[in-house]
Structure 1
Amino acid sequence: MNVSVAVARKGPPKPADSVSRIGSNLAPHEMRDPFDIGEALTALAGSGDPVTVYSGILDPMLARIESVDPELPHFVFDFTGSALPPGGPATFVATIGGSAKLQFELDSDWSTLPGQPHLVPADFPEACLVLNRRSARRVETPVGGNYSATFNLSNKQYELPLYDFSQGGVGLRATPEQCFGLSVGKKLMGVRLELGPALVVVADLEVRLLRPFRTFLLGEQVQIGCSFASISMQMQQTLERFVTTGLPERRMVKR
């Protein structure tokens, strides 16, 4: 399958973007397949999400992943605006798609590329820890129900099926053609979310994930993961009540 999905890359990371290490009291799973590791690194390179670097007793440093070559396997860090770690082991932590935390360790002299003092090449880690950060219960939408997201973007109207939702966001599904104009980081304003016959929510969303996949019945599809860009206490309580018990009457809740 060859699906091209546009990604809006974020700017250089700021100190506030630092991500903490996975706590020893948590239970992440280990990812060792080079293909899966390459996919995770490629997602970070595409989005420009920050990577926090812990090296010895130094304060955390920030980097991004500039490029990934899964064939070698090899990738390149971009330390623009930040110091380089000293030679030796370092721990790297990042979030992917707003729903998972990725952590891995590398041991290197952190030599830069010739003539490019901010770019540092590295080999794939042998393993990564992955912690699913979805704490909110997610509800899968039933087949045949009225669950959709309707919004306007660049003078184009979108109406996409909703496949799950939670207090933190929603998951949409689309064909590659329907995704034209969407990209990671894109803000979707005034989205009308039909959550079945009982609830309509109007909210602002941010696209956090675009993942191509293929189904037997529908062919090529793209999973679109969106988080609520801002959510009021009223909306959060309404969604919590709906997710856990359902609502008896149809109502409109705005952001």
Structure 2
Amino acid sequence: MTETTAPIDRKGPPKPNDALSRIGSTAEPHEMRDPFDIGEALTALSLSGEPVTVFPSGWIEPLLARIESVDPELPDFVIDFTGSERPPAGKATLVASLGGNAKLQFDLDQSWKPLPSNKMHVAAEFPPSCLVLNRRAARRVETPVGVHYLATFRIKGAEMELPLYDFSQSGVGLRATPEQCFGLHVGKKLDGVRLQLGPNLVIMADLEVRLLRPFRTFLLGEQVQIGCSFSSISMQMQQTLERFVTSRPAARRAAAR
């Protein structure tokens, strides 16, 4: 995996109401141990600027930070505590939202010493494992090869047409080049999106971007996965989509978008 420099708008500095709670003791998260997957999750957080809630051991109030950069080759990453404070030496639990539909949690135990270049930046090695709690249970249908499944919308005055790679009753997944992602960021509203689901079904809906994840393919090179949830869809269209999704033999349970 290589670090991606996709032109994706980052969120601003975290605010107090961005703080998340830890994954509850009664929840059923799965464990992620593959360094490649961990690097992808951290890179997505870095590109989006998603707030990271830090719980130092023994503290009641959490700290807020962001992932500044990721180097998957070392592998390590840099945490930015600007606007907050650095944790004391010892163990801390870090929690972040992945695309709004999953929660990532991992522990670090270190000195939390600042980098020489910035007193609010702290370097850390990848954690050996992370907990991931998926909150999306909608059935996902992967789009078949060779059939038109497209999303058409306008952004910054220009019309965009992106391919769908999957869809569900709660949202759609799009694929784009890094250049096509200019102007998109997590939380971006896309109004009046025309969704063409095969040759016989067209749905109009408002979407909200919930995930931007860079990846690379052998044939297409650098790509970005764009996970979107429905922010507004008519009851009639929702019922049509529900019938369409549940009738597809390819429907299956999906990971968080």
The separation in 1 between residues aligned to 2:91 and 2:117, in whole angstroms, is 24
Which position in structure 1 is the counterpart of 2:74? 72
Q: Secondary structure at the match of 1:102?
A: strand
What does the per-residue CA deviation read over 1:162-221, in whole Å, with 9 as the maximum and x for residues that have no partner? 2211233211234x3872535433443321112342442232432622433326xx5437
The separation in 2 between residues aligned to 1:219 and 1:66, in whole angstroms, is 27
- Residues 91 and 228 of structure 1: CA distance in aligned 2, closer, same or farther (over 3 Å): same
Q: Which runs of 5+ in 2 are unaligned?
A: 249-257
User: In the alignment, does 2:127 pair up with 1:125?
Assistant: yes
- Residues 121 and 236 of structure 1: CA distance in aligned 2, closer, same or farther (over 3 Å): farther
- Residues 106 and 155 of structure 1: CA distance in aligned 2, closer, same or farther (over 3 Å): same
- Residues 148 and 70 of structure 1: CA distance in aligned 2, closer, same or farther (over 3 Å): closer
Q: Which residue of 190, 207, 212 corresponds with 1:209?
A: 212
Alignment of 1:89-104 (within 5 A): 89-104=91-106
| Larger RCO: 1 or 2 (CA < 8 Å, sep 6+) | 2
TM-score (norm 1): 0.80
Q: Secondary structure at the match of 1:179?
A: helix
The separation in 1 between residues aligned to 2:85 and 2:237, in whole angstroms, is 40
The separation in 1 between residues aligned to 2:178 and 2:85, in whole angstroms, is 42
- Residues 221 and 24 of structure 1: CA distance in aligned 2, closer, same or farther (over 3 Å): same
Amino acid of the structure 1 residue aligned with 2:166: D
Q: Contact 2:167/2:173 (CA < 8 Å) preserved in 1?
A: yes
What does the per-residue CA deviation read over 1:38-62, in whole Å, with 9 as the maximum and x for residues that have no partner? 2222221111101111122421221
Which position in structure 2 is the counterpart of 1:170? 172
Q: Post-superposition shift, 1:91? A: 0.5
Q: Post-superposition shift, 1:146? A: 4.1
Q: Post-superposition shift, 1:141? A: 2.8
What does the per-residue CA deviation read over 1:56-89, in whole Å, with 9 as the maximum and x for residues that have no partner? 2421221111122233332221112223322221
Q: Which residue of 112, 115, 124 corresponds with 1:113?
A: 115
Which position in structure 2 is the counterpart of 1:34? 35
User: In the alignment, does 2:225 pair up with 1:224?
Assistant: yes
- Residues 235 and 122 of structure 1: CA distance in aligned 2, closer, same or farther (over 3 Å): farther
What does the per-residue CA deviation read over 1:84-118, in whole Å, with 9 as the maximum and x for residues that have no partner? 32222110011223343211101122222336332
TM-score (norm 2): 0.79
Which position in structure 2 is the counterpart of 1:250? none
Which position in structure 2 is the counterpart of 1:249? none
Q: Contact 1:162/1:171 (CA < 8 Å) preserved in 2?
A: yes
Which position in structure 2 is the counterpart of 1:157? 159
Q: Secondary structure at the match of 2:209?
A: strand
Which position in structure 2 is the counterpart of 1:49? 50
The separation in 2 between residues aligned to 1:103 and 1:35, in whole angstroms, is 16
Q: Contact 2:105/2:130 (CA < 8 Å) preserved in 1?
A: yes
Identity score, percent? 56
Q: Contact 1:112/1:120 (CA < 8 Å) preserved in 2?
A: yes
Q: CA RMSD in A?
A: 2.9
User: In the alignment, does 2:9 pair up with 1:8?
Assistant: yes
- Residues 129 and 148 of structure 1: CA distance in aligned 2, closer, same or farther (over 3 Å): same
The separation in 2 between residues aligned to 1:173 and 1:193, in whole angstroms, is 14
Q: Secondary structure at the match of 2:38?
A: helix
